[in-house]
Amino acid sequence: MHILVTGGTGFIGSHCVLELLQSNHTVTVISNLVNSVLALYGTPLHHPMKEEAVVAENITNPYGHSKFMIEKMLKDIAESNKHWNIICLRYSNPTGSDPSAIIGESSKGIPNSLLPYIGQVLSGKMPYLTIFGGDFNTSDGTGVRDYIHVTDVARANLCALNRIIEEKNIGFEVYNIGMGKGYSVLEIVEAMENASGKKIATKIMPPRVGDVPYLCCDPTLAAIKLKWTAQFSLEDMCRDVLNWQKKNAHGYVDDKNKNLKHG
């Protein structure tokens, strides 16, 4: 099948393209991507969150609100035109890289994702890891999040595509894509220390506006209807982040020419 992938040049999109190619699809790529995320759960009333737990009043930041509005528009489209079949995937925190290290997360400046940020501290590019919030109501005071390997995210997209192809008339559906287990920032630090064999310097700062103590999803519905479950562990994520950064110290930039690498 010939598949159009929006956002196929980005971190998640490039892994989706790789998964599609490995499944013998023909792929056309354009650069813009909109996905859904767990941020639209805001401050959830119950843990882990199920898909129906989204309440607009609980969302704590503009980013979460933007995802909520996009989902609402897509739902309206599907309900007003029965020819549309739409699946929204609410990712937890994608990280890692393809185990081959041919693609990965190439950030400009300080990475937004925790594990690549820690990787830059380990490589000496950053002096320490800034931890926002050290007195949350969690086991060690740092924020807890659900993490998911980016290859598992790519697989989830392929499973969603297969469901649309096979079922044909699904209308609008939403699925959580995560491990269903939360890890605190300090637990991630410990896991990266174990994977690298090095100590990681940290500095705790006040939490940012909109930060919530705990965000972890329930992926049961995806397991039932998409036939998808996470295959990679936290240890796998740490290994693949470090492997990518080791083999691609400057991301997608060639060491000699400082130009984007091709192929």
Residues with active-site annotation: 63
- Quote the CA–CA distance of 168 and 148 in Å, as a whole number: 28
- Quote the CA–CA distance of 200 and 115 in Å, as a whole number: 12
Q: Cα 94 from chain centroid?
A: 2
- Quote the CA–CA distance of 253 and 261 in Å, as a whole number: 6
Domain boundaries, the chain: 2-247
CA distances from 255 to 9, 67, 103, 114, 118 (A): 21, 37, 16, 24, 21
pLDDT of the chain, 263 residues: tens digit per residue: 888 887 777 888 888 888 888 888 888 887 765 666 666 666 666 677 787 776 666 777 787 788 888 889 999 999 999 999 999 999 999 999 999 988 888 777 788 889 999 999 999 999 999 999 999 999 999 999 999 999 999 999 999 999 999 998 899 999 999 999 999 999 999 999 999 999 999 999 999 888 889 999 999 999 999 999 999 999 999 999 999 988 887 777 654 444 444 33
Characterise 101 by phi-psi region: left (phi > 0), alpha (psi -120 to 50), beta (else). left
pLDDT at 259: 46
CA distances from 256 to 24, 125, 179, 193, 253 (A): 35, 18, 39, 30, 9
pLDDT at 221: 97
By DSSP bridging, strand 182-184 and strand 144-149 are: antiparallel
Tell me which of 3.40.640.10, 3.20.20.70, 3.40.50.720, 3.90.1300.10 is the CATH number of domain 2-247: 3.40.50.720
pLDDT at 68: 85
Q: Cα 106 from chain centroid?
A: 14
Q: Which DSSP letter does residue 222 get? A: I
Residue 252, helix vs strand vs coil: coil
pTM over 0.95, yes/no: no
pLDDT at 41: 66
